[in-house]
Amino acid sequence: MNYELVSIDPNFTLAREVAAQLGKPLIFPEVITFADGELEIKLPQDISFDRKTVIILQSTYAPVHDTLMKFAFTLHALKNAGAKACFCVIPYFAYARHEESCQFPEKAGEVAVVAALLMAGGLDALVSVELHTDKVADFFFGPVASLSFAGDIMEHIKKQAEAQGVALENICLVAPDKGAERRAQTIAQKLGCKQLTFTKERYAADKTRITSSDGEVLCSHAIIIDDIFDTGSTALSAADELKKRGFSHISGYFVHPVFAGDAQEKIESSVLEKVYIYDTIPCRVRSRKIETLSAVSALSECIPQLPVLLTCNSESGSECSGSCSSCSHK
């Protein structure tokens, strides 16, 4: 495959590990910050991007707006350098939860502006991991794919249950809100576990509470399944409710460890016994309760296929018929 692999933040360990697994050099553009805060991107002069496919591997984590501008300017620089196509692999895609305006219902939310920014820079296709909602794809002209980690989580739950001597039928997978229901149901059905979905209400910024559930489940182990652990309000409210209902062992799987604010302190003082996360975002939180799972293999498998799978779309505008083994193409 004739492609170049680019990242933006040298501290994004996931990109370095994927590049090493693929045996590809990882290219970092030079980011120049002027005294007034404006940015300029300079590409390495000893590498030609002319008529090449470029894959940019970078999550858009904090500082979010700084990272997004660097991303857009890097895309712009690559297109100016003659890049044929720019495929963006953004494991954690900021603003994916903002698909609808809070102030104006049924109107596009802030993710529409982020999509427009990246497309203006030169994005031809987007691949993300556990994209919060399928609706994000509607804001892009090119193909959008979401890499699912449901299979990986399922296998990890199975191994943990075997190691602990816990029967799968004595485990309940919990969706802390309706948005997480499909993911939890899919894993529960394949494992033969019980499943429970909570309904929540947001009563203040970053504050939620459980209002109801879709039934009652009697077993000892509860595992919360969700895509993001941000402030922890939703997950911890669900954990507290599960404790009240008599579950003696409560843990959770969260793909993207945003860990905003005092999330670490909340986890330490919570009823959660274990929090499993992935390295889609560099985790600066250290806790005996937190265990990091690797996204390297999944991305290393998917990335080499992207130029073939998505070029048809960028060149002809038609929908791509192929897919990675774990990708859901939109």
- Residue 173 and residue 277 in one domain: yes
Q: How confident is the model at residue 2 (pLDDT cuts 50, 70, 90)?
A: confident
Q: Residue 95: what residue type?
A: Y
CA distance 197 to 179: 10
Q: Are residues 91 and 190 in the same domain?
A: no
- Res 186: pLDDT: 95
Phi/psi class of residue 238: alpha, beta or left (left: φ > 0; alpha: ψ in -120 to 50)? alpha
Q: Are 306 and 127 in contact (CB under 8 A)?
A: yes
161 alpha-carbon distance from chain centroid: 25
Same domain, 190 and 98: no
Shared-domain flag, residues 108 and 48: yes
- Residue 72 and residue 93: Cα distance in Å, rounded? 13
Query: What is the rounded CA–CA span in Å between residue 227 and residue 184?
Result: 10
Domain that holds residue 219: 150-294
Q: Tell me the residue type at 39.
A: L
Q: Is 244 part of the annotated catalytic residue set?
A: no
User: Could you give the CA distance from residue 75 to residue 136 in angstroms, rounded to a whole number?
Assistant: 20
Look at the chain and report how many structural domains it folds into: 2
Asked if residues 257 and 229 have their Cβ atoms less than 8 Å apart, the reply is yes
pLDDT value of residue 285 = 81
Asked whether residue 183 falls in the same domain as residue 121, the answer is: no
The CA distance from 239 to 260, in Å, is: 18
Cβ distance 112 to 137 under 8 Å? no
User: Are 290 and 301 found together in one domain?
Assistant: no
When pLDDT is averaged across residues 120-142 and rounded to a whole number, the result is 95
b/e per residue 233-247 (b: at least 16 CB within 10 A)? bbbbbbbbbbeeeeb
DSSP class of residue 49 equals: -
Residue 89 φ then ψ, to 5°: -100, 105
Q: State how far the Cα of 56 lies from the Cα of 12, in Å rounded to an integer.
A: 12
Q: What are the distances in angstroms from CA 62 to CA 1, 218, 230? A: 32, 40, 12
- C-alpha distance from residue 308 to each of 78, 85, 96, 131, 316 (Å): 20, 12, 26, 22, 13
Mean pLDDT to the nearest integer, 152-156 = 98
User: Looking at the DSSP assignment, which residues form a beta bridge with residue 4?
Assistant: 54
Whether 175 and 210 map to the same domain: the answer is yes
pLDDT tens column, 274-295 = 999 999 999 988 889 999 999 9
Residues 196 and 282 occupy one common structural domain = yes
Cβ distance 266 to 252 under 8 Å? no
Q: What pLDDT score does 203 carry?
A: 54
Same domain, 221 and 182: yes
pLDDT exceeds cutoff 50 at 153: yes
The residue count of the chain comes to 330
Percentage above 70 pLDDT, the chain: 89
Q: How high is the mean pLDDT of the chain? A: 90
The average pLDDT across 175-192 equals: 94
pLDDT tens string 82-98: 999 999 999 999 999 99
**Do residues 185 and 175 lie in contact, with contact meaning Cβ atoms separated by under 8 Å?**
yes
| Helices 150-164, 181-191: crossing angle, 10 deg rounding | 50
Q: What is the tens place of the pLDDT at every residue in 44-82?
A: 999 999 999 999 999 999 999 999 999 999 999 999 999
Which CATH number fits the domain that encloses residue 99? 3.40.50.2020
Whether the per-residue pLDDT at 296 is higher than 70: the answer is: yes
Could you tell me if 309 and 323 lie in one domain?
A: yes
pLDDT score of 128 more than 80: yes
Same domain, yes or no: 91 and 185: no
Q: Which of 135, 190, 200, 207 is catalytic?
A: 200
The owner of tokens 């296929």 is 305
Give yes or no: residues 8 and 141 share one domain: yes
